[in-house]
Chains A and B, each alone.
Chain A
Amino acid sequence: MRHPAKTHWRRLWPGRVIGLRAVFAAALLWILLHVVLFAGSGQIAPASSFKVLLLISAIGSIAGIADLKRNRESIFLQNLGVAPLVVPAIWVGVMMLLELITAVVIR
Chain B
Amino acid sequence: MEPILQADSIGKTFRDRRVLTSACVSAAPGEVVGLLGRTGEGKSTLVRICAGQSRSDSGWVKYKGEICDPPRLSSMASGGVYYLPESGSLARSLTLQGHFDLLRERFRLGPVDELIDDFDLRGLLAASTAAMSTGERRRAEMALVFIGSPSACWRTSCFAISIPLRQKGWDEFWESWRRMAAR
A residues within 8 Å of B by Cβ? Answer: 1-5, 10-11, 15, 17-18, 21, 70-73, 75-84
* Chain B residues, Cβ within 8 Å of A2: 80, 107, 109, 148-151
With the chains together, A21 CA to B85 CA distance in Å?
25
Question: How many A-B contacts are there with CB distance less than 8 Å?
Answer: 86
B147 closest partner in A (C-beta): A2
B93–A82 CB distance below 8 A: no
- Known contacts A70-B92, A71-B91; is-contact A80 B108 (Cβ 8 Å): no
B107–A78 CB distance below 8 A: no
With the chains together, A84 CA to B83 CA distance in Å?
14
- 20 residue pairs from A and B, CB less than 8 Å apart: A1-B149, A2-B148, A3-B107, A4-B79, A4-B107, A5-B106, A11-B74, A17-B93, A21-B93, A71-B91, A73-B91, A76-B94, A76-B102, A77-B74, A78-B77, A79-B73, A79-B89, A80-B102, A81-B74, A81-B106
B78–A18 CB distance below 8 A: no
* Chain A residues, Cβ within 8 Å of B106: 5, 10, 15, 80-81
Q: How many chain B residues touch A (Cβ–Cβ < 8 Å)?
A: 34
- Known contacts A15-B105, A79-B73; is-contact A1 B91 (Cβ 8 Å): no
* Chain B residues, Cβ within 8 Å of A4: 78-80, 107
B77–A80 CB distance below 8 A: yes
* Chain B residues, Cβ within 8 Å of A76: 89-91, 94, 99, 102
With the chains together, A82 CA to B74 CA distance in Å?
5
A80–B103 CB distance below 8 A: yes
B59 at the binding interface (Cβ < 8 Å): no
A4 closest partner in B (C-beta): B78
With the chains together, A10 CA to B78 CA distance in Å?
10
- Known contacts A2-B80, A5-B78, A82-B74; is-contact A17 B107 (Cβ 8 Å): no
Would you give the shortest CB distance from A26 to chain B, in whole angstroms? 15
A75–B102 CB distance below 8 A: no
Q: Which of B74, B83, B90, B109 has the most CB of A within 10 A?
A: B74
* Chain A residues, Cβ within 8 Å of B99: 76
With the chains together, A81 CA to B83 CA distance in Å?
11
* Chain B residues, Cβ within 8 Å of A80: 74, 77, 102-103, 106
Q: Which of B75, B77, B149 has the most CB of A within 10 A?
A: B77
